[in-house]
Amino acid sequence: MLHPTRRDLFRAATCAAVAWPGRASADTSGGPCDLFVRGGTVVDGTGNPWFRGDVAVTGERIVAVGRGVNAKARREIDATGLVVAPGFIDIHSHSDLLLLEDGAAQSKVRQGVTLEVLGEGQSVGPSKGKLPPAQFRDGVRAFEWTTLGGYFDAIDRSGVSVNVASYVGLDNVWQCVMGASHVRPTVDQFREMRELIDEAMREGAFGLSSLLAMPPGSLATTDDLVGLCEPVRRFGGLFSTHNRNEGLGVFEAVKEVIAVGERAGVPVDVIHLKIADQALWGRMGELVAVIAAARRRGVDVQANVYPYTRGNNNLASIIPPWAHEGGKAKLLARLKDPADRVRIKREITAGIPGWYNHYTAVGGDWSRMLISGKGRFEGLTMDRVLTVVSKGRTPPPDPLDILFDLLVEEGGSIPCVYAHHEEKDMTTALIQPWCSVGSDGSAYAIEGPLRRGNPHPRNFGTFPRVLGRYVREQQVLELENAVRKMTSLNAAKLGLTDRGVIRPGAFADLTLFDPARVIDHSTYDKPFAYNDGIEYVIVNGTLVLEPGGKHTGAKPGRVIRRGAGTGNPPK
């Protein structure tokens, strides 16, 4: 595929007359197009009904869409029997450093993803002040950066198969100024935080993201969030947030972020909307009503979900927030201290007002906690781990003591999948017109260095699962609406007008799939499996995935900076 040039752009304008559904284009007269997708079922991402048609691409852009488009092309794809959709936009991704490790983005490309949106509380920048500079080294390359823009530069130099966008993370901003302290920031320190957010927005961040359930994000009050969103509003950005409480306090938590959006004058996107405590299962309809009421009075609040009933967090999240103050070293010291252990046990089992506790959310059922991180117990549920560790010991140790010992052994971090919400609640959220799809996953692979741990299946199967399970099998969603939730709805949240849709002038990010075969295969026990049915993936006009699951090795992706669809930060 040729790189875009002024010549390409001229040819794009002359290659074919613009064709709309129901109207054929004229013969091409400005030379051949680069890529012609013929005879597919075009689902354009807007929610409009599908139609049989063709898509012509020159350089990085779509130049014609319609029935009976006449075009000569350097490469033609026969899309008979396939759906031709915009490339899927993963509005909630954690692929940050993995994209530097392997820019092929295997598990995402094979789902049809063409744009990854990074950041949930933590982001890859800024990393300065009391937060050490971020680094990536692989024995061949070395990158170091202190700002989000520095990470963007590293991605552009490294090369990626998908497009990349990012929010700036509240955790980073807070820690740059406050370090690991839990003390309240001063007026001057808040000013420093706003300046860091301002800097990231100027570098192209799409907004501020927060993880309010754990420190340091949980240290921010509602008033703090409103104040920190000031530069986000000024630059036309988005507040993307993991709620402070997804369990017993989920209603209050949703009302809090609605208040932030209303007071700060910024759009809000609730990350993976769920009810993650069995005591409140079945009440998603009421939670949806809270968001719908806010929207009726003019608050721009939306949400996203992943199509699973288990979430990925960390066993360290069971430990009360105060025990995390001072960082990992202080946490480990407290886990070893007998007096602190007594207090931690009491607060885990009895709870702390306002604190979302994963342990009580799953009813204290250790079988609903699956270790997903790399280590000697990866892939085992915690009840099995407790059995192994307790074997031969009389009397058997307290399960919480075993948990504390394991956290100490693993340096304070053990990634874990929690079975904490239910299918009916998830689908109730999914079908809402303002609820889109995001994986909350990362770009892993089934072989090589990125086959590690026992990751959540959403890393491999999110988007094919929506199409196979919830469109074809359960008919929870119409095809056109499902595609909209994975494309233009996410693009609109970001303010992108030239991605997420199939129309002349838009970037040629395309996913072609077989609607009769598309399905996920990754499971909690055997996560390393790609899906079926995603046949072609095209990023910025370049073919990245071909039938048979062949990744072409192409890396045509780019960083997309807010305010400049092709990459330049706003001035």
- Interval 189-222: pLDDT, tens: 999 999 999 999 999 999 999 999 999 999 999 9
The backbone torsions φ and ψ at residue 341, rounded to the nearest 5 degrees and listed phi first, read -60, -40
Tokens of 480: 């056109």
Q: Over pLDDT 70: what percentage of the chain? A: 93
| Helices 328-336 and 338-350, axial angle in degrees (round to 10) | 100
pLDDT in tens, 533-564: 999 999 999 999 999 999 999 999 999 999 86
Domain ranges within the chain, ordered by starting residue: 6-81, 86-309+428-551, 313-418
* Vertex 404: Cα angle to 400 and 410 (nearest 5): 140
Asked whether the beta carbons of 220 and 212 are under 8 A apart, the reply is yes
Q: Count how many residues are written for the chain.
A: 571
CB 111 within 8 A of CB 71: no
The CA distances from residue 370 to 340, 373, 378, 379, 381, in Å, are: 26, 9, 8, 6, 4
For the domain covering 86-309+428-551, report its CATH number: 3.20.20.140
Q: Does domain 6-81 have CATH number 2.30.40?
A: yes
Give me the pLDDT at residue 68, please.
86
In this model, does residue 25 exceed pLDDT 50? no
- The mean pLDDT of the chain is 92
Q: What is the pLDDT of residues 89-144, one digit of tens each?
A: 999 999 999 999 999 999 999 999 999 999 999 999 999 999 999 999 998 999 99
Residue 188 in contact with residue 227, Cβ under 8 Å? no
Distance, CA of 364 to CA of 368 (rounded, Å): 9
- pTM for this entry: 0.91
Strand, coil or helix: 332: helix
For CA atoms 499, 505, 507, 508, give the dihedral sign: positive
pLDDT tens per residue, range 216-269: 999 999 999 999 999 999 999 999 999 999 999 999 999 999 999 999 999 999
Beta pairing partners, 54: 66
| CA angle 84–483–86, rounded 5-degree value | 45
